[in-house]
Structure formats: structure tokens, C-alpha cells
Chain A
Amino acid sequence: MPGFMLGKTHVPHRKNTAGMESVRMPVPETVIIPTSQHIGAPATPTVKVGDTVYVGTKIGEAGGYVSSPIHSSVSGKVKKIDSLLLVGGRSCAAIVIESDGLMTPDPSVAPPKVDNLDGFIAAVRESGLVGLGGAGFPTAVKLDAEKKGLIHRLVINGAECEPYITSDTLTMRNDADYIREGVKLLQKYLTLEEVFIGIESNKPDCIEKLRETFSYDETVKVVSLPSTYPQGAEKVLIYNTTGLIVPEGGLPADVGCLVMNVTSVAFLAKYFETGMPLVEKCVTVDGSAIKNPMNVIAPIGTPVEKLIEFTGGFSKEPGKIMYGGPMMGSAMYSAEYPVLKNTNAIVALDKKDAKPPVQRNCIHCGRCVAACPIGLNPTLFARSMKVEDKAERAARLEEAKIGLCMECGCCSFVCPSARPLVQTNRLAKADLRANGAKK
């Protein structure tokens, strides 16, 4: 553990659902399962319209090395295969399945039989598991680093630093045994010298529970992290638990780390017990426009409007609905979007909260610089973007290290002039990709 910890932005916690148990929602009439719910190539559909599917039936094959298969989350019939404009701006195919309401599991679903690393990775790949905490990077691809002998430590993310979200808290509170079994599996197939579990100090019960669960194993360390944002950001988490610094342009594996979210680890254990792939998620539904905030277990593909309807609907007219928390979540165009594998929350803000704050000129106050966990100067990116000359602009962006920005949102959050810093950084990254190639 390092002497001082990174990430010190005080964002409101608003964990209204922290004390609540999760509720399973009734099977929706239809589910929409996009072929791209992960980083990498979309899955290739393996079903046709009219096909009968069951819970856990594979309906899309991984479309490349960095990709993941997808599975039906209900039993029923494939109604159509549509194109869906994802919130990131890309489009992909989406398989729409009409549920028969029976939730019959696929007869082929059985615990995977595995006795070596290759088999383990293959099984994880088949489970459809992707990083559940955030970006949705296929887990099996991360595990591949083990084959090169790169992984020595497992860092488990239980920080849950975004406002509102409590789905990981529930996993830690209720599924500690699964987390333990998941860790044991990973210890069995990977060469793990140490395991770190980072949890924000605002969840003392989870820290307590996991310390107890792992009291038998000295190599597992439960680290209490400060309750400040962004503890869950990969580089921050690695530094705050292990003291290691991921180098620029590098991956956690470069410092021997494998990072997984707590819920992902618990899922692994469940999957090896039952063989049921990733077909449902516990989702926190909250925000100023939500009448009854709660944690809902929903089949993947459940339309967000149905999910919200189940919780009791809106209390106020929604102004903005997003996947994930308000710091890094992505706003959606309509509530018809489905719950995805990596959806841990749906946050709906009312009109008032959705209204953007008044923007003014940058007053050079330095709050963004002080807030950036990476130690970047966000004002430099904004200034560099004003440079006309493409090559010069690219050089300046590179010098200011735009590539290190993890889009955590701290800078924009603290800016008293409400400068759109994160947005500028995204544009800057795209700009550098476009113009850096000409070098």
C-alpha cells in the first residue's frame, strides 16, 4: 500500500439503495440483445428469426480475438434481428427475442469441466464474461496475459466509487462466498502471489465481511480505500492497493496485475458451479427522476423503460437517463435501450438536474489540475485544441499526455466555470488519432 492514496475528489455519494436487498423483476415480454456489449469486435449472430432459444443459449459467437459471445437471457423465439445505434455512436446488430415467460434453461447448460489454464480461459470465454464494472473488456482476453507469465497479482475492484450505484455492494454483502470461490478458482489457474480487494471506506460492512471471508488466506488483502472519487479507476485502484504505477501506454499486466470487478469474480464462481453464462445483472435504478430507487435483478436485454416501470416508474419527468453512474456513465437517446452485460446502474435525472451548468471562461483556478488523479493539466488540452496547425496540435496534445486521460470526469466535475473538459479530452484523443497517423 502506498503512503498516500490518489483520487481525492469529493463527489456526492447518494447511495440511496445501499441498505436494500435486490428484487428480481418479472420476465419482460421481449429482450433486446446487442451483439456489441463489450470492447472489441461485435459477436456474430448464430440464430435466425424464428429460432427457439432458451436461457443460456448461445445466440452470437465471438467475432474475433477481442470479442465475446452473447447468450439469450430468456426462453422464447427470435423475433427479429435489428440494427441498433449504440450510445457511443456506433451501430451493431441486436437480437430481439420474444419471451415465452417460462425461463426454461438451455439443456446444454452444464458446469464446465476444466483441468488446465487453457481450458479455464476457454470456459471463461464461453461464459460471455466481460468487465462488469465499467468498459466491458472481455475477461478471457485479460486472462491470456497469464500464458505469457505476466500476472502475479489479482486486484479486485470493490470500490464502487460512482454516486448512486450499490450493485457491487450487494455482491460483497450477499455473495462473499462466491467471491471467495472465484478467488480460489483464479488462484488455482493463475500464479497469484497476492490478491488485493479494494473497497471504499464508506462500506465498512463489506470490508468487514470480506476480511472475515478471507481470514484463512494471508495472501488476500482487503484494502480500505478513501471514500473519494475515482477509487475504482483502474490505474488509481492499482496504485492505491499495490503501490504500482501502470506505465504510459501500458496495461495492468505490465505491472503484473489482473484487475477484475467483485461482481465479475463472484460470477466466475457461479458459472463454474452451474454453467449458466452471463444472462442477468443486478442493476441499481436510481436518480432524481426515479420514484423508488432499488436494485433490480434483470435479464440482460431488458428494455430500460420496463426496468424503470418495474421499480414504480418516474417521480418526475426525466431529463436524462444514463447507463452507469453520473461521473462516467453514458447518456442514452431513449429509454428503449436494453440492459447490457456491463450495466451496473441506470440513473435517471430530472429536468432540473439534467440542465447543464452555466459555462464561463476558464479562470485558471487550478482546481482541475489539483483534481486530476493522474496529475494531468486539463487546461493544456483545451488550449492545444485551439491550435490551427494539425501537426503542431498533435505534438502539443502528445506533450500534454492526452493518452493518459482516463475520462474519469474529476476535472469537469470540479470546474467552477463548468468547462467541458472531459468532452474536450475525448475530441482531442480522436483528433490525435486522426492526425497523429500522418507523422
Chain B
Amino acid sequence: MNKLTVSSSPHIHTSNSTQRIMLDVIIALLPTAVAGTVIFGLGSLLVMGVCVATAILSEFLFNIIVKKEQTVSDLSAIVTGLILALNLRADTPWWQCMLGTVFAIIVVKCLFGGLGCNFANPAITGRIFMMMSFASAVGGGAVPSIVEVSSSATPLELISGNKAGALPSLWDMLLGLRGGAIGEVCALAILLGFAYLVYRKVIHFETPLIFVGTVFVLSLIITNDLTLSLYQVLSGGLLFGAVFMATDYVTTPITRTGKMVFAVGCGLITVLIRFFGSYPEGVSFAILLMNILSPYIEKWTAKRPLGGKKA
């Protein structure tokens, strides 16, 4: 008889794979990408194209240079590139997009050992890096190309009184007819992606729900105004961050309870920054901070094994 494989059990394996999960995330991002392109015009496509291409290329080259096994086929670089792009304004210069992506992929991900080894979310860190380096790349200013908008200020800037102008209606906010980054404006598209991810069991529904819920409840307590609180939920990068960045596996606690604690923390910090900090937007910082706290939350929320004695 010919050779038989002898290996450790189990001998069967789920049909799910990391590649499939990444593909699902990409699929979930598509409505947002399409909405962003419709709202802000073709510039969005350029930003997304540059970020995704740079992401793939930098991981590919990095692996070649350090002689590591090629990992681009896991699709995670595409996810990072796309999420970063959706966090940027449609008119971000291509070279800024490239730099931000290279930072996210090389410094935050590859240098730490590649997929799964980074402690902070590459896309968020990339976004923050760009915010620090070239302030205009992210957040406010971008004007939707398909409608007349009275002001280029983002709703958050308007609410916080940093800039003057009329707030877009809540309905416009839902559709995404407001200033902001490519992917963060269209709430409906984001929710579509959210539903898909939950349906595909890629994420649990709680994390985004608790994150957004915390922001909503705290805003309600602080402002005592339902409409303003709804604006808080729909504006800035909250929905996008809650659905696509606070649910990143690598940089959030591994247990379900841990993820819930993480989400509450994100909501809390977001509100603190938005209401009391000097930045109008706090989602990225909130998630980044909680990324750093993640290992501690994970330890603290570890399950007690069945029959396990207290150590």
C-alpha cells in the first residue's frame, strides 16, 4: 500500500477559512465603497485604488525582502487598505494615501510579525498617523459632489460649535449627504455591511451595538436632547468604526464578554473626547486606546474553565 498520512486529530476541518472571512469583510465594505463613490465622486475610487494597491504591494515586497512566506493571499492587506481608504477624504492626495498605507501595513502589521501579531489596528493607526502628519486628509472638509451643501464643515464640527453652518437633516445623515470621509458618511451602507457580517457570523452583533449604544446613551445624558444624540450616533466615523474597526479580531479581546467590555470602553472614550476633548472626533483614538487595553480586558474576562480550581 502507498503512503498514508499520519497526523494528529482532528482529521476533519471546518469549511471556513481566514481567507473566506477576509473576503466577507471586503464584501461587507462594498456598499460603503459604492456609496462613498456616488456621494463624493470618482476621487473616492482613486483613494481606494491607491490604498488597496499599496497595501498589497507593501506586504508582498516586505515578505520578499525578509524572506517570509507570501501572505497576500489571506486578503487581509486588502481589508486594511480598503478600511484605511474609507477613513480618508475623497480628495486626499495619492502620495499621502500611499504613505499612510505603507505605515499601516509595514510599521503596524508586518514589523510585528504579520497578520494576527499586531497589537493595534493597522487601519486606525494609519488614519491617526495621517491625521497627525497631514491634518486635512481625514475628517471634515470634503463636500459631497452630488448635492448642494451649505457648509463644508462636518456635522460634528457644527455641533461642537467649532464651525458655523446649518446641520444637514437626519435623513441626509442616514443617506450620507454630508461632509466627511469616504466611508463614514452613509449610515445605510454601513448598516448593510453590518447585517452581512452578522449573517455570515464573521462578527457578533453586540460589539457595534454596544459601542454605538453607549455613545447614544451617554450623549442623551449629557445633552438631554434626543435629536442631538441621534446626530452623535450618525456623525463622524462612529458607525463605520463600530462595525468595521472595533470588531477587528486581532486587536480586540478574544472572549465574547471581553468584546462587550471593549465596546463599552470605546463608547465611553468616544464621548469623552467628543464632548470634553479638543478634537471633535474621538472614534479612532477610542478604538486605539482600547486596542492597547485589550490584553488586560482579555485576562480580566477570561472564562473560568469547567471544574477549574482557582489558581
Contacts and interface: CB of A to CB of B under 8 A. Distances in A.
How big is chain A's contact interface, by range?
35 or more
23 contacts: A235-B307, A247-B309, A248-B307, A320-B5, A322-B9, A322-B11, A327-B9, A328-B9, A329-B9, A330-B9, A334-B1, A349-B11, A354-B5, A355-B5, A357-B13, A360-B19, A362-B116, A364-B249, A377-B302, A404-B307, A412-B9, A412-B10, A416-B17
Interface stretch (A55-63, A75-83, A418-426): A418-426
A437 interface: no
Interface of A: 6, 11-12, 87, 163, 235, 239, 245-250, 305, 317-322, 326-335, 347, 349, 353-358, 360-366, 369-370, 373-377, 379, 398-399, 401, 404, 407, 409, 412-418, 420, 422-423, 426
Nearest to A245: B307
Nearest to B251: A364
A326 B9 contact: yes
A418 B10 contact: no
Contact of B254 (A347, A355, A358, A379): A379
A413 B15 CA distance: 9
Contacts of A374: 305-307
Contacts of A327: 9-12
A321 to B, nearest CB: 6
Interface in B1-47: 1-2, 4-14, 16-21
How big is chain B's contact interface, by range?
35 or more
Given A248-B308, A361-B115, A416 B7 contact: no
A326 B307 contact: no
Interface string B81-98: 000000000000000000
B210 to A, nearest CB: 16
A320 B305 contact: no
Given A331-B4, A361-B114, A414 B308 contact: no
B11 A363 contact: no
Contact of A332 (B6, B12, B254, B302): B6
Given A363-B249, A366-B255, A320 B4 contact: yes
Contact of B6 (A317, A333, A415, A426): A333
B67 interface: no
Contacts of A329: 9, 11
Given A364-B250, A366-B249, A377-B254, A331 B7 contact: yes
Contacts of A407: 9
A415 B15 CA distance: 10
Interface of B: 1-2, 4-14, 16-21, 71, 74, 76, 113-117, 249-252, 254-256, 259, 302-309, 311
Contacts of A12: 12
Contacts of B13: 357, 412-413, 418
Contacts of A370: 256
B239 to A, nearest CB: 22
B303 A377 contact: yes
Given A335-B4, A379-B254, 6 more contacts: A319-B5, A322-B9, A326-B9, A369-B303, A375-B304, A422-B9
A423 B8 CA distance: 6
A330 B10 CA distance: 9
A188 B185 CA distance: 74
A355 B305 CA distance: 33
B17 A358 contact: yes
A365 B12 contact: no
- Which of B116, B304, B311 has the most chain A CB atoms inside 10 A of its CB? B116
A240 to B, nearest CB: 11
Contacts of A401: 305, 308
Contacts of A362: 116
- Which of B12, B116, B255 has the most chain A CB atoms inside 10 A of its CB? B12
Contact of B117 (A356, A361, A379): A361
Nearest to B13: A357
A356 B7 contact: yes
